[in-house]
């Protein structure tokens, strides 16, 4: 009987797993999460016993790096591919996808909702950061840079785990712990990761 530890080998790098996930999309740009997981299990024999929760964690890490993005399709959770694997090299490089051989599924409205929701939340988070970290101080370049740095570190911590996220808040920004925990529990990891990325890149300031 094959054990879980043998199926998911320690030497399997994260980049190899991510390439396999991208291959599972096939020619599709958008795929339902359940379908993507099943295709991944069939195509990727070395990881065929990867549990669903670990598969989802890889998707969240790929989302945080800008490789995929979540959306709702016909009321179900789906993912859109934003990169392609580059000659099976160790590093995935973001690249514009010029053409798909299969049509993108209809009803893009949920995707716009996800992006819009994240943008609004990102603005609220940035405002909360400024008020908690720099009470009574006007915005200047130092304030903006500090907020972006915290957003970057919080996003990386949350990509690792919720425990790392809370630990960072305890150590570096305790005044943000309560509001950030509230956003995490009410909106979930995916929306919070995307919102923090918008702050980190300065997208909400444009």
CB atoms within 10 A of CB 177: 15
- Per-residue pLDDT, 186: 82
Residue 9 pLDDT: 44
How long a stretch of residues is the chain? Answer: 206
- The confidence score (pLDDT) of residue 17 equals 83
**What is the DSSP track for 24-42?**
HTTT-SEEEHHHHHHHHHH
Please give the pLDDT value at position 114: 44
Which residues make beta-bridge pairs with 83? 94
Q: Which residue ranges in the chain fall short of pLDDT 50?
A: 1-11, 86-102, 104, 106-115
Structural domains in the chain plus CATH codes: 4-106 (1.10.10.10), 111-205 (no CATH)
Which pLDDT value is given to residue 173?
92
CB 132 within 8 A of CB 179: yes
User: For the whole model, what pTM was predicted?
Assistant: 0.47
């Amino acid at each position: 009987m094959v054990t879980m530890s043998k199926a998911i080998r320690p030497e399997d790098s994260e980049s190899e797993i991510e390439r396999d996930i991208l291959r599972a999309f096939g020619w599709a740009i958008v795929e339902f999460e359940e379908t993507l997981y099943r295709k991944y299990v069939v195509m990727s024999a070395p990881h065929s016993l990867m549990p669903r929760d670990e598969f989802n964690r890889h998707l969240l890490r790929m989302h945080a790096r800008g490789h995929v993005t979540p959306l709702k399709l016909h009321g179900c959770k789906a993912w859109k591919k934003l990169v392609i694997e580059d000659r099976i090299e160790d590093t995935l490089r973001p690249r514009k996808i010029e053409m798909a051989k299969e049509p993108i599924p209809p009803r893009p409205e949920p995707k716009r909702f996800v992006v819009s929701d994240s943008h609004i939340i990102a603005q609220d988070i940035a405002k909360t950061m400024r008020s908690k970290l720099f009470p009574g101080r006007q915005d200047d370049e130092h304030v903006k840079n500090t907020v972006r740095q915290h957003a970057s570190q919080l996003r990386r911590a949350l990509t690792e785990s919720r425990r790392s996220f809370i630990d960072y808040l305890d150590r570096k920004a305790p005044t943000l712990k309560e509001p950030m925990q509230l956003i995490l529990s009410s909106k979930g990891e995916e929306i919070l990761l995307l919102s923090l990325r918008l702050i980190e890149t300065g997208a909400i300031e444009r």
